[in-house]
Structure 1
Amino acid sequence: MPLPSFLTKFAASRRRIAWYAATLALAFAGGGLFAGLAMPAGWLSGSLVATAIAALLGAPIDIEPRMRHGVYILLGTAMGSTITPDTVRGITTWPTTMAVLVASVPVMMVAVVAYLEKVAGWDRRSAFFAATPGALSTVLAMAESSGADTRRVVFGQSLRLFVLVALLPAALGGLGHQPAGTLPVDPVVPDLTTFLLSVGVGIAGAFLAERARFPGGAMVGSMLASGVVHGAGLIEGRLPDLVLIVGFVVLGANTGSRFAGTKLATLRRFLVDSLVALAIATAVSFAFAALGAWLSGEPLAKVLIAYVPGALEAMTIMAFVLGIDPAFVAAHHIMRFLGLALLIPLLARLFFGRAPVPSERVEIDRTEPKD
């Protein structure tokens, strides 16, 4: 005799909750392992790798949608809280290198999109977001709303971060730079009231951006609102590390779950495509960094680390470790980050419109990868 429908739904709900909990446990374990091994972006990459492997093996890995939405708001708020009045003033201090950086971004994106779409055979939405330099969490939020294949996007973006963090110090050494310095220790919000106020500003910004129907509104709105109040000096201090850790772990688990059902042949194809795209992006960055260094008189290594398409936090920390002016690097990455946060949603809406199918349901294996 079949169970009553309410009992069936209750049992299914308990199974979903159990898998949500198991997903988080696995994600924290993977993130903790990578962080303990001092891997780049360890909490994010470790949770992503652990959940992606489980998803590829057939486990029903998943993240509760409301939790994912809340994490986007927290990460956006945290990113905005890294902006200070000194950073804002710094953005106006280096007009030459800033101008060259602005010119480099469309050249880089056009070159990478052209390769991924015309040569590698990716769809234009996925190529567009995979080509966006840096700001992985923001790009993922926008990609989901625009119907891109987030598995392609996260693979390309994550691989780029890994390779840059692993190889850039040696590359800068080849340019004559001698590593020095220490890791940054930025002040945290001083009390609970300030923390709640900062988060409240982020929530308000996310609400307004979503009402305006911006793709990735939760992330973009919270980041911009938080950046405005912190940049104006109305609120001081970044969000605690624990907030970032939880956010990165949940985001990693969410993106890792996208690999469920993906064929190994497709992953191999992703690897080749992403490495070639990274080589193209790096070549464009180097060419424009050489131009910016020549025009401004700044050292090439300093300008290059400010131009490479890496994550804001990772590149700023690397600048501290390598003894390169972190304010210069952070200001340039924030300039690119804010510009992309404003323009990418508009360009995505202009060229792609609303997503015809949610990105979670995009099937990347309908077409076999090329030989």
Structure 2
Amino acid sequence: MASLPKPPFHRLSRETLSRLFVTLAIAAAGGTLFAWIGMPAGWLSGALVATAVAALGGLPVGIPSLVRQATFIVLGTSMGSAISPDTLRGITSWPVTMLVLLASVPVMMAAVVFYLVRIAGWDRRSAFFAAAPGALSAVLVMAETSGADTRRVVFGQSLRLFVLVALLPAALGGLGHQPAGTLPITEVVPDLVSLLASLGVGIAGALIAERARFPGGAMVGAMLASGLVHGAGLLSGRLPDAFLIVGFVILGANTGSRFAGTRMETLRRFLVDALAALAIATAISVGFAVLGAFLAEEPLVKVLVAYVPGALEAMTIMAFVLGIDPAFVAAHHLARFVGLSLAIPLVVRLFFGPAVVPSENVDPDPGEAKD
């Protein structure tokens, strides 16, 4: 009897696994190289750079959602293990830096929008969404239904994240910050029972946060749950180095693969504008970070990582790997995420009105071919 045809998902699953294997091989090679030459956060930044180059070269790269979510849980669990009673006592200084951060957001966005519209010639909608510092998922959802050119928005946001992850460790070194190494120095969990318990707590926290649609759900939920039990002294120790290295490589690969499908023509057209916007946003972040650090009597490097216009998950992990309080950084990026998610719809309604055409029909230049 003839064999039955294989279901469609078999072929798709095989292609997905093949792409995952290629992506991880490229990312691991880049991470190994950067770690070997002693780059700060080498496993993360090296994987990101290598994957981005491969994506721009047309190789099939990408990280499936399930793998990405599992990685966020592992990293969030280990980041939560860095929380201690001393960390909790330091929370008393956070309201000051929070207020300064929230004051910086409208200033930053106004300056970037002014440049993109008046100098670079972008339309106002696209410039507005591209200027949002973080909250990428919420920004993209709103941009797609507001008549913005989503190509510009995605490129500007992705390039900003790429540059920050790739260059921030070296920049902080120039400010005098010396991380302990490429991995945190907190002691590893003492036994298998503690390891399984830590993972179980992280998974439970991630599931609850995802169910509640909490921003950065998988990672932030795992970190909060892990931080709760570690801060209370119920568990001690972070996950083994192998878990962290794999997590950093996958995170870097996921960020780098955002450039898949980007044509070199598009890259050249948007690159200068996006880099200039990043320079403006970063300069304003530094200025407000200096003010926040002075008022709260916190280290400048710590406040700066909490203020830079990057993604919640990536910047929290960057703080963790560089030996900076991840709870402090996560709290500030989360506050900005929530603030942007609430404020952007109101601003769009007040200043832009209803979209004339759907986002997918917007072409930044009628003389250019669509990508």
Q: Do they fold alike, i.e. is TM over 0.5?
A: yes
Instruction: Report the RMSD for the aligned CA atoms in angstroms.
Output: 4.2
* 8 Å Cα contact 2:75-2:317 kept in structure 1: no
Counterpart Cα distance in 2 of 1:369 and 1:269: 14
User: Once the 2 structures are TM-superposed, how far is the Cα of residue 87 of structure 1 from its aligned partner?
Assistant: 0.9
Counterpart among 333, 337, 341 of residue 337 in structure 1:
333
Q: 1:123 aligns to what?
A: 126
| Structure 1 position 57 matched with structure 2 position 35 | no
* Aligned partner of residue 123 in structure 1, secondary structure: helix
Q: 2:171 aligns to what?
A: 167
* 8 Å Cα contact 1:98-1:332 kept in structure 2: no
Counterpart Cα distance in 1 of 2:285 and 2:40: 21
Post-superposition Cα deviations, 1:77-99, rounded to whole Å, max 9, x if no partner, equal: 23333322211111215665554
User: Once the 2 structures are TM-superposed, how far is the Cα of residue 153 of structure 1 from its aligned partner?
Assistant: 2.5
* 8 Å Cα contact 1:35-1:43 kept in structure 2: yes
Relative to 1, partners in 2 of residues 1:293 and 1:52: Cα closer, same or farther, differing over 3 Å? closer
Q: Which amino acid aligns with 1:278?
A: L
Q: 1:202 aligns to what?
A: 202
Counterpart Cα distance in 2 of 1:369 and 1:80: 50
* Structure 1 unmatched runs, 5+: 133-138, 173-177, 321-325, 353-361
Post-superposition Cα deviations, 1:281-318, rounded to whole Å, max 9, x if no partner, equal: 33323332443455456786776576555734545666
* 8 Å Cα contact 1:289-1:303 kept in structure 2: yes
Q: Which amino acid aligns with 2:170?
A: A
Q: Which amino acid aligns with 2:278?
A: L
Counterpart among 140, 158, 162 of residue 162 in structure 2:
158
Relative to 1, partners in 2 of residues 1:300 and 1:370: Cα closer, same or farther, differing over 3 Å? farther
Counterpart Cα distance in 2 of 1:370 and 1:222: 48
Matches within 5 A, 1:26-37: 26-37=26-37
User: Once the 2 structures are TM-superposed, how far is the Cα of residue 76 of structure 1 from its aligned partner?
Assistant: 2.7
Q: Which amino acid aligns with 2:161?
A: Q
* 8 Å Cα contact 1:34-1:43 kept in structure 2: yes
User: Once the 2 structures are TM-superposed, how far is the Cα of residue 263 of structure 1 from its aligned partner?
Assistant: 1.3
* 8 Å Cα contact 1:27-1:253 kept in structure 2: yes
Post-superposition Cα deviations, 1:115-143, rounded to whole Å, max 9, x if no partner, equal: 557765373785265x12xxxxxx56767
Q: Which amino acid aligns with 1:246?
A: V
* 8 Å Cα contact 2:56-2:262 kept in structure 1: yes
* Aligned partner of residue 92 in structure 1, secondary structure: helix
* 8 Å Cα contact 2:130-2:154 kept in structure 1: no
Deviates more, 1:301-310 or 1:37-46: 301-310
* 8 Å Cα contact 2:85-2:232 kept in structure 1: yes
| Structure 1 position 251 matched with structure 2 position 254 | no
* 8 Å Cα contact 2:139-2:341 kept in structure 1: no
Matches within 5 A, 1:237-276: 237-276=237-276
Q: 1:47 aligns to what?
A: 47
* 8 Å Cα contact 1:266-1:369 kept in structure 2: no
TM-score (norm 2): 0.71
Corresponding residue pairs, total: 339
